[in-house]
């Protein structure tokens, strides 16, 4: 099949990218990062999460971050909401979209959100209804869709089951997530196929961590199936506190470079995106991790 001509990228850097940072990151830095991402042309930004501050202290400033963002028309700001308590707090901050997040393994569901897969669906159901009634967008993330740090290999049947349950409670779009970056192109395609049993191509997205360096290969494998919506994190930041050892998301700038080279439109200014990546790396006191980011910085310095 022919490849998509346009891809929609959601930068999850401010949320997935920073949730795992040990050092406190000031809200002002998170807000500045969001501003830089929207300046670079990102139209979807996952800004923060409304989870327990005891579980994820780094996201405790969620309301402050949301209040500090100077919103740009045409940009959608999403937040994670695992339950009604999170949704109610999030709703006060006027997100455009909320994300419920379940898992394709029982073990990960317990570790990450302290309940079984079926219980998570029961928690999400009123959240999804309330969000849709309020006119918000809703996404349903399915973590550990190809491999789990606790259960090992995850059968595609689990992804299919979770997709069906998400569909049953009215989640309009699912995100197939390789939380620990163990996916290979064939396994990623199998997980995507499982989600596509219940959702059409316009309602399935990919979210690939790059632990083993295959996130771009998995993006390409999904692109070949027609999937055109992806999460990525500026600077390749990221990781889930309940997936030890897993590294960052695929870097947004790596994805943009690949798409541009393939003639696929992203609407993103790569130079400004690299500036944003450098900004957050400097703020964290680390060298920029992404390959494309480093290459462009080296070229500028030459
Ligand atoms: P729980 O302990 O089962 O919840 O946690 P509970 O309902 O029994 O409540 C216990 C306490 O938490 C109570 O407070 C609640 O008020 C409070 P206490 O009375 O003890 O003082 N509480 C909350 N506080 C703030 N916001 C809330 C909230 N809910 C309850 N929403 C819960 C369940 C889901 C809250 C907990 O397990 C949690 O916060 N987990 C964190 C999960 C997380 O953020 N993980 C990282 C994001 S997911 C991810 O990174 C994967 C993704 O990127 C895709 C991929 O790569 O796979 C999306
Ligand atoms: Mg993630």
pLDDT of residue 89: 98
pLDDT of residue 131: 99
What confidence tier does 244 reach under pLDDT thresholds 50, 70, 90? confident
pLDDT of residue 296: 98
Tell me the two tokens of residue 240: 């889930």
- In this predicted structure, the answer to whether residue 209 has a pLDDT above a threshold of 70 is yes
Provide the mean pLDDT of the chain. Answer: 97
Percent of the chain with pLDDT over 70: 100
pLDDT of residue 246: 81
The reply to whether 177 belongs to the active site is no
- Ligand 1 is surrounded, with C-beta below 6 A, by 16, 19, 49-52, 55-56, 80, 82-83, 85-86, 101, 112-114, 141, 143, 177, 179, 207, 209, 240-242
Q: Which atom of ligand 1 is nearest to the CA of 209?
A: 56
- In this predicted structure, the answer to whether residue 2 has a pLDDT above a threshold of 90 is no
Domains and CATH numbers, the chain: 8-301 (3.20.20.70)
Centre of ligand 1 from the C-alpha of residue 204, in Å: 25
Centre of ligand 2 from the C-alpha of residue 178, in Å: 7
Mean pLDDT of 226-250: 90
Q: How far apart are CA 179 and CA 248, in angstroms?
A: 9
Mean pLDDT of 173-199: 98
Mean pLDDT of 174-201: 98
pLDDT of residue 243: 80
pTM: 0.98
Using alpha carbons, list the distances in angstroms from residue 36 to 70, 80, 159, 240, 279.
11, 21, 34, 23, 9
Active-site entry in 115, 148, 177, 240: 240
Centre of ligand 2 from the C-alpha of residue 195, in Å: 17
pLDDT of residue 200: 98
Give φ, ψ of 10 to 5 degrees.
-105, 120
Q: How far apart are CA 225 and CA 192, in angstroms?
A: 9
Percent of the chain with pLDDT over 90: 95
pLDDT of residue 117: 98
What confidence tier does 239 reach under pLDDT thresholds 50, 70, 90? confident
Give φ, ψ of 176 to 5 degrees.
-85, 115
pLDDT of residue 1: 66
- In this predicted structure, the answer to whether residue 30 has a pLDDT above a threshold of 90 is yes
Q: How far apart are CA 14 and CA 9, in angstroms?
A: 14
Q: How far apart are CA 61 and CA 59, in angstroms?
A: 5
DSSP character for 28?
Answer: H
Could you report the per-residue pLDDT of 139-170, keeping only the tens digit for each?
A: 999 999 999 999 999 999 999 999 999 999 99
Could you report the per-residue pLDDT of 90-132, keeping only the tens digit for each?
A: 999 999 999 999 999 999 999 999 999 999 999 999 999 999 9
Nearest residue by C-alpha to atom 53 in ligand 1: 16
């Amino acid at each position: 099949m022919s490849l998509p001509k346009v891809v929609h990228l959601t930068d999850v850097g401010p949320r997935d990218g920073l949730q795992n940072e040990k050092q406190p990151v000031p809200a002002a830095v998170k807000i500045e990062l969001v501003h830089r991402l929207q300046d670079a042309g990102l139209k979807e930004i996952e800004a923060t999460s409304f989870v327990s501050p005891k579980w994820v202290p780094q996201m405790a400033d969620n309301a402050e971050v949301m209040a500090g963002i100077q919103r740009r028309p045409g940009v959608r700001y999403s937040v994670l909401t695992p339950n009604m308590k999170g949704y109610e707090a999030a709703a006060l901050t006027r997100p455009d979209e909320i994300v419920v997040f379940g898992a394709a393994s029982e073990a990960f569901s317990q570790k990450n959100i302290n309940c079984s897969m079926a219980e998570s669906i029961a928690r999400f159901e009123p959240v999804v209804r309330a969000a849709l009634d309020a006119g918000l967008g809703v996404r349903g993330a399915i973590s550990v869709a190809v491999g789990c740090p606790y259960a090992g290999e995850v059968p595609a049947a689990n992804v299919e089951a979770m997709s069906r349950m998400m569909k049953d409670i009215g989640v309009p779009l699912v995100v197939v997530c390789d939380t620990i970056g163990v996916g290979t192109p064939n396994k990623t395609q199998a997980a995507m196929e499982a989600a596509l049993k219940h959702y059409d191509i316009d309602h399935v997205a990919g979210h690939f961590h790059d632990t083993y360096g295959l996130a771009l290969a998995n993006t390409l494998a999904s692109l070949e199936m027609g999937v055109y919506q992806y999460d990525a994190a500026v600077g390749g930041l990221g990781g889930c506190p309940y997936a030890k050892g897993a590294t960052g998301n695929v870097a947004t700038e790596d994805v943009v470079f690949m798409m541009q080279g393939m003639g696929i439109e992203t609407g993103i200014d790569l130079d400004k995106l690299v500036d944003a990546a450098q900004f957050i790396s400097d703020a964290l006191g680390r060298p920029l991790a992404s390959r494309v980011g480093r290459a462009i910085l080296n070229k500028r310095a030459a």
